[in-house]
């Protein structure tokens, strides 16, 4: 009674999500452009090429599994980024330059 049938386990309803980053041209960094579903990294790259660079938008592609990205929570953004708020002396505009002083 050995017949070849469909796999016993129901296949996943969709492939994992990947985030896509494109370097538009040499000299620029990779920038996030969107996401896509793919079964593995090779397919993710192939789909990224077909989906996000149909008009020569890039010279290099990164794909990263969305689940592997770690990010700060937006709920904590205020507290999280607060420490930078009161350190105005980190900006050159904080300092008064005496009249006549140049190239500073």
Partner 1 sequence: MPESGRVGPSSASSAARTIGYRGGMYGTDFGPEGEPAETGPDPEEFLALIAGEGRVEPRDAMPAEYRSTLVRQIAQHAHSEVIGMQPEGNWISRAPSLLRKAILMAKVQDEAGHGLYLYAAAETLGVDRADLVEQLQAGQQRYSSIFTYPTLTWADVGAIGWLVDGAAITNQIPLTRCSYGPYARAMVRICKEESFHQRQGFQILWTLQHGTTAQQQMAQDAVDRFWWPALMMFGPPDAESPHTRQSMAWGIKRVTNDDLRQRFIDMTVPQATQLGVTLPDPQLRWNDERGHFDHGPIDFSELYDVLRTGGQCGTDRIAHHVAAHEEGAWVRAAATAYAAKRAAPASGRGEVA
Rank residues 78 and 99 by Cβ distance to partner 1 and give the closer one.
78
**CB 88 → partner 1: shortest distance, Å?**
23
N-to-C CA span, the chain: 86
Which residue among 5, 14, 26, 89 contacts partner 1 (CB under 8 A)? Answer: 14
Binding flag, residue 53, partner 1 (CB under 8 A): no
DSSP SS3 for 89: helix
The span from the CA of 60 to the CA of 1, in Å, is: 51
CA 45 from centre of chain = 14
What minimum distance in Å lies between the beta carbon of 35 and partner 1? 4
- Is residue 64 within 8 A of residue 36, CB to CB? The reply is no
User: Rule CB under 8 A: which residues touch partner 1?
Assistant: 6-7, 11-17, 19, 32, 34-37, 39-40, 43, 50-51, 54-55, 66-67, 69-75
């Amino acid at each position: 009674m050995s017949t070849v049938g469909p796999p016993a386990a129901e296949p996943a309803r969709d492939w994992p999500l990947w985030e896509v980053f494109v370097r538009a041209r040499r000299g620029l960094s990779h920038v996030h452009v969107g996401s896509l579903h793919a079964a593995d990294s090779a397919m993710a790259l192939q789909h990224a090429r077909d989906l996000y660079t149909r008009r020569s938008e890039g010279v290099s592609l990164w794909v990263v599994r969305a689940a592997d990205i770690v990010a700060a929570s937006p709920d904590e953004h205020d507290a999280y980024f607060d420490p930078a708020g009161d350190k105005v002396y980190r900006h050159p505009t904080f300092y008064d330059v005496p009249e006549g002083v140049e190239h500073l």
